[in-house]
Amino acid sequence: MLAVAVLFAYVPLGLAQKAANTGPKYDLANQVKIKGVIDDMHETPGAFEGTHLIVKTDTGTVLVQLAPADFLKEIDTSLKKGDQIDVVGAKNMGTEGEEILAREITIGNNTTTLRDDNGIPVWVGWKAPKK
């Protein structure tokens, strides 16, 4: 019984350590909601590679960081220029300036959750398919 309790004590620690290696920290205090149109999309290579969107809102353009491209394909998330999108995410200072780390995106009636309620990416522990 003690071994089970010890195991459960280390599981959250392991997830937190993996989450620390998935990119910038999601700050719940900076959470915002935006609506707009996808103006551009690009893949960013490197240690924290992923899909980024340029979203045109009523007040300007916003860079939105989503998730690894292969992860988005695996969960069958389809995005294209011109899509109306709602984003719930946290403002963050990234390498390209201010950005939003997406927690949830909605296009039409389809909502995709990319981070849990604490901002931990849902792809923690996910492994990209070998190419």
10-23 pLDDT per residue, tens: 344 444 444 445 56
> Which run of H or of E encompasses 118?
none
Reported residue count of the chain is 131
Q: Are 44 and 68 in contact (CB under 8 A)?
A: no
Residue 14 is predicted with a pLDDT of: 44
What pTM value is reported for the model? 0.78
Phi, psi for 86 (deg, rounded to 5): -110, 135
- Residue whose token pair is 């004590």: 9
Given a cut of 70, whether residue 115 has pLDDT beyond it is: yes
How far apart CA 108 and CA 66 sit, in angstroms, is: 17
Options 2.40.50.140, 3.40.630.30, 2.60.40.10, 3.40.47.10; CATH of 2-113? 2.40.50.140
